[in-house]
Amino acid sequence: MPETRLLFRHIDEPGLHTIDVYKQLGGYRTLERAYREMEADEVLTELEDSGLRGRGGAGFSMGKKASFLPRGGEMEKYLCCNADESEPGAFKDRELMQKNPHQLVEGIAIAALAADASRAFIFIRGEYDLQGDILDAAVVEAYEAGYLGQDILGSHRNLELVVHRGAGAYICGEETALLDALEGKRGNPRLKPPFPAVQGLYGGPTLINNVETLSNVPHIVANGADWFKSFGTEQSPGTKVVSVSGCVQRPGNYEVELGIPTRELIYDLAGGPGDGHQVKAFYPGGSSSPVLTGDDLDVPYSFEAMADAGSMLGSGSIIVADERVSIPQMALRTARFYHHESCGKCTPCREGTNWTVKMLGRVTDGEATPMDLDVVASVQDNIIGNCLCVLGDSMAMPVGAMVRKFRAEFEELLYTEDTGVARIGAVVGKPEQMGAMR
Amino acid sequence: MSPEAKREITLIIDGREVAAPEGEMLVDAAKYGDVEIPIFCYEPKLGQPVGACRMCLVEIEGTPKLQTACSTPVRDGMVVYTQTDQVKEAQNAVVEFLLVNHPLDCPVCDKGGECPLQDIAMGWGPGRSRSTDPKRHFQKPLPLSPLIAIDRERCILCYRCVRFSQEISEDSQLQLLDRGDRSFVGTFDDRPYIAPFHGNITELCPVGALTSYTYRFRARPWDIEQGGSICTLCPSQCNVGFTVRDEQVKRVLARDNPEVDDGWLCDKGRYSFEMLASEQRITAPQIREGGNLREASWAEAIERAAAGLREAGPASAAIVGDASNEEGYLVQRIMRQALGSPNMDSRPGGGPDRHRVIELSRPELSVSTRAIDDADAVLVIGTDPLHASPILDLRIRKAVRRNGVRLAVANERPTALDGGAEAVARYAPGGAAAFLAELNEGMAVIHEGGEAQGETAAAASLLCAAGRPVIVWGERLGRGEAGPVAVDALLELARGLGCSDSDGAGLLGVPETTNARGLREVGVLPDAGPGLTEVDSGRDAEGIRAALEADELRALLLFGADPVRDHPGSAAWDRALKSADFVVAFAMFEDASAAQADVILPLQSHAEKEGTITHPDGRLQRVRPNVEDPGQVRPVWEALCELAAALDHETGLESAPDVLATIAKEVPIYAGITAEEIGGRGVRWQERDAGGALPEGLSERGRSADGAIDASPRDTSTRGEGPVGGELLLGTYRDLWATPVTELNPPLRFLAPQQRVELAPADAQRLGLEDGDEVSVAQNGTSVGARVAIRERMGEGACFLIEGTAADNANALLNGGPVAVEITKVGSK
Amino acid sequence: MNGGGPTGLTQGASAPSDGSGLPVDPALVEGRHPDRPAEEIPEIHQTGCPDHLRERIEQLMSRYPDRHSASIPALWAVQQRYGWCTPDGIRQAAAVMRVTPAYLESVASFYDLLHTKPVGRHRVLVCTNISCWMRGGDELLDAFCEAAGCDRDAAGQGGSSSEDDELFVTGFECLGACDLAPMASIDGHYFGPLAGEDANEAVQQLITDTEVLPDKALAKRGAAGGPEPEPDPRVAKAKGG
Ligand SMILES: Cc1cc2nc3c(=O)[nH]c(=O)nc-3n(C[C@H](O)[C@H](O)[C@H](O)COP(=O)(O)O)c2cc1C
Ligand code: SF4
Ligand code: FES
């Protein structure tokens, strides 16, 4: 089964990132219609009916979240586009912004209409320099074309859009940390409630959505909820841009209908591990999702099926590990990432990630005792559900799963003094052998 | 924050019904059912909960995940479990996590015995740690400031100290640096943390990470006693607890009183206890003999004092500074009844006449400190609370930050509150009266539907829009020739704002001395007796000084006052004391004035004294003895009674309560008040039945019964443009640290201000001066040395010096109203 | 940050006793004196802030309803001007923003891309996260350290600069380009997939200020993973961009 390109339609069209080409291909017509002919509530209903689920990780209904914002009132409302994309394995938003920035700008403008927001921000991770520049240019074009600014298309509606660059902190992708960062503070998550929809940026009601989520908006409003629901499954309507990487021959982004077998993504599209290697484990939804094994390849790629399989679709990023990869090493890499990125605000995450890294380090160095493995496992349990935000859980879940599902491999390391394991297991082959990469 | 009572609701905690106010956070609500939920980061004084430490996790029926009790408001019928396995596991986990990197050095930790981490680890921890890996290491302990040591290994990153710095004192010097488990509490570029309230973080820290050098290793919880009193070092009158060991104060802690201090202390109050037991303390009576002072018995000293005063009789006078109501009452009684002298004052530089004082005291025109929390708008005029009454500065910040109170600040000099103000107005030194007049005009214009113009416009419209405005005003604007006009304008403003008929709206004065209000109300004024009753009027402070110089007065009684340092015109006061035939000084230390006394009688400190004082908002509070009187020091009321007796005036008073009882008889607005009624929290006299018992003040329209004095032309003309040429208009202010307290307490010495003259950039440029230049600031003949400090937010044409510095005291240049000064460069930095 | 404390304050060694056997801190006897002032909100004239920096930061502040929001952009501007977030640069930004330098340092120290210590002129961030690691990210980091003359261990823990301060090489968490694995971000531009040889080439090009690895630049790559499929009929007849 091939890709189903909706957001990625025309993705390789030269100059798609310019407003002219985008408009030639039908761009901004939906915005014009929405601002000229539609009521905010119509737009909102369309989005709610479409069943579009958040593409940033939580998978919460986009329309419903927008409907949580109070209607009317003097208080200024905000829309924040979450373009922090920092979860290992995820690189879909990067491509969407780099190749089709106006699709996002149009989506933001329409979503802002639905949420009655008059100020919007795109919080883009600081590493995405190129994409930040492209967005800046697109925003300027959109202002000049009158799609942003004051009294848009004579609708008496205003929208100011600012591209705000982060400076290197995964946690800023967490929606409330993003708000603190945007307010100029350290990017620490906030206590919820109050939820951003009620009290978010500068204390005002705020809608926060992922780049891909918002890029879907123009298509839904243009073609209707029913049309959108004709893609994907009942509980996971639409398409999904999936980032596939790791031990596959054609790593990259593939846009597919939600619900296709994961195997097709990993093998048919990304080319699988290649020459006689087998999938040993894979993260189905970014490094935060509990790993699945080679036996789970036929799990449909949808929010609900992944949940049933004991994992999650998350940001929709598949990282494949074949039999050459050391799971304990992979667990250590994973833990290291979350330890490095923990903001330090809450105790279980700050100390738990730190402790886990130390213990896994001893495991991979062959210095750990069997008891340590139990402690590793129980520390993960002690983290899950006890943190301020889910960053802690995001380490504990995959690491816990790895220890559970591949315990034997961990135990093997306990007694050997040989620390070479890692290196042998790590490298899958030099890029030049990795097949065609466009 | 708002005081109105909340609805009672019932919830079920661990199977038992608990009644609690609706909306209360679960941790606090649980206390009503004697259920303790462990906490670290939660501290309501710091504002909204942050839910960081995760110690307070509990199970709430209907929510799958455990919830933080510190951030969960209680609802009716809520069902909570704090003892289930799930909760216990979470608590064990959090404690274990906290200890993963904790040094566990309790035996050598100063917090040992009073450490929440220790207690909670015992009560809620797993009892053992499974962590065998190396711990995080920091250099320790390091000086965070000259007063506080930081041990970062002990820090549990609860955020309390940094939240204090950012959201309470708003100095924002103390920050969290780095990220994750590398995070640590620190300052920019490893600078010292120096800010007027920073000592509070040692009380906030739930572990031994932040400790005061003044207390480290000085006592263990089991050999100390705690006692309560009031800090009498400034008009804030914060409620304090003394940590006493071997009859010596070793530590001063806050004793939360939401009506007064919100549970905070400034560093002056917190770190100035060394002086109580210092060698410099005068612990025995002294009398001058052959030019030198020698120790003497109380009997001999009092005899000498009586003789000297008797000699002068009605030609004697009294200047009272820091004194309790009882002491002040007895002093005025000695003056008026034993010596027949009406000459006395308790206000440096004098102040408004009796009628205006009465008007300003009207209960309907005045507000409680707490009213600031719930005001719609606050106008701060003629004072910088940070220096004059520090805790008020925090109160106003809180109101603005948390309750969205709109703030306007009008002052000669930039204030610490300008940053949070919606409207900031600057007027030239001495220009308060004219500013207020213009403000009133602006208000009138707005009331007629017009637009206010000029510098006062912003403040005017802000105040007009407010249903509950509070005006915090510096009582010094009632000084001098322009004083009466300023006060009348202030009263007109308050009435114009309808303060008299709206609760929570009105005036709050910021006086120059700690118990100014109490001393006023017990009759230490030249023209008002106890209860502000009418008496034949005598000379005020300025008048007394002049009269002494002119030999119209011959004897002076100084009580807790050092006019040479603290009053305007130091030089003149020095001459006045010299020309006096006889001076008796009640003093704790030999200050510049006491040094010239013929008799010195020792005073008690606020750690030894029994008595009452009155807060600027009318709240009577009790000062209580916590340590024994050092040396010969004894209750001063007693000594005063003996002095009176020696002057053939038998008071018949047997005890401090006796004195209070007499005050309660003679001061109608205090009628019937007792120490018991005042209790540990104090009472505002305005809120008692007797509150209405003020005498007649001004007749309507704020005009003085004895005819108002007009603003002297100088005062109005000095607004805006300053004097010509090299001359600048001098303004002065009392810096928080320009006090003997700073010098008498070694730990605070580094804060003693060097004299500096503040200039607007334009003026500095015109005079060819740069930051740090050494200059002399001169005014007909007299001059003081200073260093130039350029201030971008200063009004042009004015310059500012600090009053009360040990050297180069600006008071030397003053002579009542504002003066023009010449600044000349002496050297560059 | 070194986790140190204010320097120059006399250390509180235990000294005279107060008679009860317990040591008394010298602070109680002669007091302590800081050798440097505390850092409050500086006034602009005290910081020597260059006009263009001031104007840039003021312009940044104007983009937001609350000036504090400009903290990260302002720190970027400081880093651009001085190569890293120097104490003086931070003071200048703080003076313009009317916040304390501590506030800005606290923010800067939270983020990986803002440097509160000096770093080499050209910045090479090598991804060593899961996907890149599987494909030789560690080896790529080795190669860059080798080529640039940077310390490998230091590069693995926060970064290392070359002797001449021309290069700064650091291992980095996922840069959002696993499709390029193993990859690196060089002066903000993405390159990959990279082999050891590419590291040498890139370093040479950086030192000689010539264009870096033109044919490995992300900016020049086509987008999607696979070939353009036949449009789905539902998509084909769809309206909108
Ligand atoms: C630690 C952490 C990191 C996250 N990072 C991102 C991110 O980089 N991009 C993103 O869109 N959502 C991220 N999220 C999810 C956001 O919190 C939020 O759910 C999402 O942006 C909502 O948008 P959506 O409903 O369109 O998915 C993260 C969540 C957590 C807990
Ligand atoms: S020093 Fe104390 S108060 Fe400050 S963060 Fe650490 S534990 Fe909390
Ligand atoms: S006390 Fe509730 S989280 Fe710290």
Cα gap A209→A120, rounded to integer Å: 11
pLDDT exceeds 90 at position C21: no
Using alpha carbons, list the distances in angstroms from residue B683 to B361, B424, B471, B670, B689: 16, 34, 21, 10, 12
pLDDT exceeds 70 at position A430: no
User: What pLDDT sits at residue B817?
Assistant: 64
User: What pLDDT sits at residue B709?
Assistant: 38
pLDDT exceeds 90 at position B127: no
Alpha carbon nearest to ligand 3 atom 3, residue: B51
Nearest-ligand number for the alpha carbon of B52: 3
Beta bridge partners of A119: A78, A160
Separation of CA A287 and ligand 1 centre (Å): 13
Q: Is the CB of B160 under 6 A from ligand 2?
A: yes
Cβ neighbours of C229 in A, within 8 Å: 2-5
Where does the pLDDT of residue B217 fall: very low under 50, low under 70, confident under 90, or very high at 90 and above? confident
Cα gap B178→A188, rounded to integer Å: 12
Alpha carbon nearest to ligand 1 atom 25, residue: A54
Q: Tell me the average pLDDT across A100-112.
A: 98
Cβ neighbours of C125 in A, within 8 Å: 127
User: Could you tell me what percent of chain C has a pLDDT over 90?
Assistant: 77
- DSSP, res B526: S
Please indicate whether, in this complex, the C-beta atoms of C6 and B190 are within 8 angstroms of each other.
yes
- Indicate left, alpha or beta for C16 from its phi (over 0: left) and psi (-120 to 50: alpha): beta
Any chains having at least 3 CB pairs less than 8 A from chain C are A, B
Q: Which member of B144, B146, B190 has the closest CB to residue C33?
A: B146
* Residue positions counted in chain B: 829
Q: Which residue of A has its CA nearest to C114?
A: A167
pLDDT exceeds 70 at position C223: no
Cα gap B418→B541, rounded to integer Å: 32
Cα gap B621→B680, rounded to integer Å: 8
Q: Is the CB of B205 under 6 A from ligand 2?
A: yes
Q: Which of B100, B102, B165 to mutate to test the interface with A (most CBs of A within 10 A)?
A: B100
Phi, psi of B715 (to 5 degrees): -60, -40
User: Could you tell me what percent of chain B has a pLDDT over 90?
Assistant: 87
Q: Is the CB of A322 under 6 A from ligand 1?
A: no
User: What pLDDT sits at residue B112?
Assistant: 87
Where does the pLDDT of residue B200 fall: very low under 50, low under 70, confident under 90, or very high at 90 and above? very high
* Residue positions counted in chain C: 241
Where does the pLDDT of residue B140 fall: very low under 50, low under 70, confident under 90, or very high at 90 and above? confident
Q: Is the CB of A171 under 6 A from ligand 1?
A: yes
- Do B235 and B616 touch, CB atoms closer than 8 A? yes
Burial class (CB in 10 A: 0-12, 13-18, 19+), B127: exposed
- DSSP, res C53: H
Cα gap C109→A266, rounded to integer Å: 39
Nearest-ligand number for the alpha carbon of A123: 1
- Do C173 and A341 touch, CB atoms closer than 8 A? yes
User: What pLDDT sits at residue B5?
Assistant: 62
Phi, psi of B730 (to 5 degrees): -85, 130
Q: Which member of B139, B192, B195 has the closest CB to residue C3?
A: B139
CA distance A348 to chain B (A): 6
Q: Which residue of B has its CA nearest to A372?
A: B130
User: Residue B776's closest CA among B813, B818, B742, B806?
Assistant: B813
Q: pTM to 2 decimals?
A: 0.94
User: What pLDDT sits at residue B55?
Assistant: 98
The two three-digit tokens of residue C80, written as one number: 């651009």
Mean of the per-residue pLDDT values for chain C?
A: 89
Cα gap C33→C10, rounded to integer Å: 7
pLDDT exceeds 50 at position B230: yes
Separation of CA B740 and ligand 3 centre (Å): 42
pLDDT exceeds 90 at position C208: yes
Interface subset of B 130-189, CB within 8 angstroms of A: 130-131, 133-134, 136, 156-157, 159, 176, 179-183
pLDDT exceeds 80 at position B129: yes
User: What pLDDT sits at residue A420?
Assistant: 40
Cα gap C86→A227, rounded to integer Å: 55
DSSP string, B22-74: TT-BHHHHHHTTT-----SS--GGGSS----S-TTEEEETT-SS-EEGGG-B-
Q: Tell me the average pLDDT across B6-27.
A: 95
Where does the pLDDT of residue B698 fall: very low under 50, low under 70, confident under 90, or very high at 90 and above? low
Chain A CB within 8 Å of residue C113 CB? yes
Cβ neighbours of C87 in B, within 8 Å: 188-189
Ligand 3, closest atom to CA B52?
A: 3
Interface subset of A 301-360, CB within 8 angstroms of B: 339-348, 350-355, 358-359
- Do A110 and C196 touch, CB atoms closer than 8 A? no
- Do C25 and B250 touch, CB atoms closer than 8 A? no
Q: Helices in B259-353 by DSSP H: which ranges?
A: 267-271, 298-312, 325-333
Beta bridge partners of B261: none
Q: Which of B97, B156, B176 to mutate to test the interface with A (most CBs of A within 10 A)?
A: B97
Chain C CB within 8 Å of residue A1 CB? no
The two three-digit tokens of residue B7, written as one number: 């609805």
User: Residue A30's closest CA among A217, A209, A231?
Assistant: A217
Ligand 3 neighbours, Cβ below 6 Å, are B 39-42, 51-56, 68, 70
Nearest-ligand number for the alpha carbon of A348: 3
Please indicate whether, in this complex, the C-beta atoms of C3 and B145 are within 8 angstroms of each other.
no
Nearest-ligand number for the alpha carbon of A52: 1
Where does the pLDDT of residue C27 fall: very low under 50, low under 70, confident under 90, or very high at 90 and above? low
pLDDT tens profile B263-284: 999 999 999 999 999 999 999 9
CA distance A177 to chain B (A): 13
pLDDT tens profile B432-443: 999 999 999 999
Q: Is B465 helix (H, G, I), strand (E, B) or coil?
A: coil
Please indicate whether, in this complex, the C-beta atoms of C229 and A244 are within 8 angstroms of each other.
no
- Do B209 and B196 touch, CB atoms closer than 8 A? no
User: What pLDDT sits at residue A435?
Assistant: 30
- DSSP, res C228: P
Alpha carbon nearest to ligand 1 atom 28, residue: A174
pLDDT exceeds 70 at position C6: no
Mean of the per-residue pLDDT values for chain B?
A: 93
User: Residue B324's closest CA among B623, B674, B618, B17?
Assistant: B623
Please indicate whether, in this complex, the C-beta atoms of C12 and B790 are within 8 angstroms of each other.
no
Cα gap B369→B378, rounded to integer Å: 12
Chain A CB within 8 Å of residue B128 CB? no
Q: Which member of B52, B66, B89 has the closest CB to residue A345?
A: B52
Which amino acid, residue B2?
S
Beta bridge partners of B288: B293
Q: Which residue of C has its CA nearest to B789?
A: C46
Chain C CB within 8 Å of residue A182 CB? yes
- DSSP, res B235: T
Contacts of A374 (CB under 8 A, 6+ apart): none
Please indicate whether, in this complex, the C-beta atoms of A170 and C75 are within 8 angstroms of each other.
no
Residue at token pair 């017509």: A29
User: What pLDDT sits at residue C5?
Assistant: 38
DSSP string, A316-384: -EEEEEETTS-HHHHHHHHHHHHHHH--S-SHHHHHHHHHHHHHHHHHHTT---HHHHHHHHHHHHHHT
Furthest-apart CA atoms within chain C: distance in Å: 94
Q: Tell me the average pLDDT across B48-55.
A: 97
Q: Which of A229, A427, A432 to mutate to test the interface with C (most CBs of C within 10 A)?
A: A427
Q: Which member of A100, A254, A321 has the closest CB to residue C226?
A: A254
Where does the pLDDT of residue A436 fall: very low under 50, low under 70, confident under 90, or very high at 90 and above? very low
Cα gap C48→C45, rounded to integer Å: 6
Using alpha carbons, list the distances in angstroms from residue B605 to A215, A343, B274: 72, 49, 12
Q: Is the CB of B158 under 6 A from ligand 2?
A: yes
Alpha carbon nearest to ligand 2 atom 8, residue: B158
- Do B48 and B65 touch, CB atoms closer than 8 A? no
Any chains having at least 3 CB pairs less than 8 A from chain B are A, C
pLDDT exceeds 90 at position A184: yes
pLDDT tens profile B452-507: 888 899 999 999 999 999 999 999 999 988 999 999 999 999 999 988 878 899 99
User: What pLDDT sits at residue B132?
Assistant: 87
Cα gap C159→C185, rounded to integer Å: 14
Where does the pLDDT of residue A54 fall: very low under 50, low under 70, confident under 90, or very high at 90 and above? very high
pLDDT tens profile C30-82: 788 998 999 999 999 999 999 999 999 999 999 999 999 999 999 999 999 99
Sign, Cα dihedral of B605, B607, B610, B614: positive
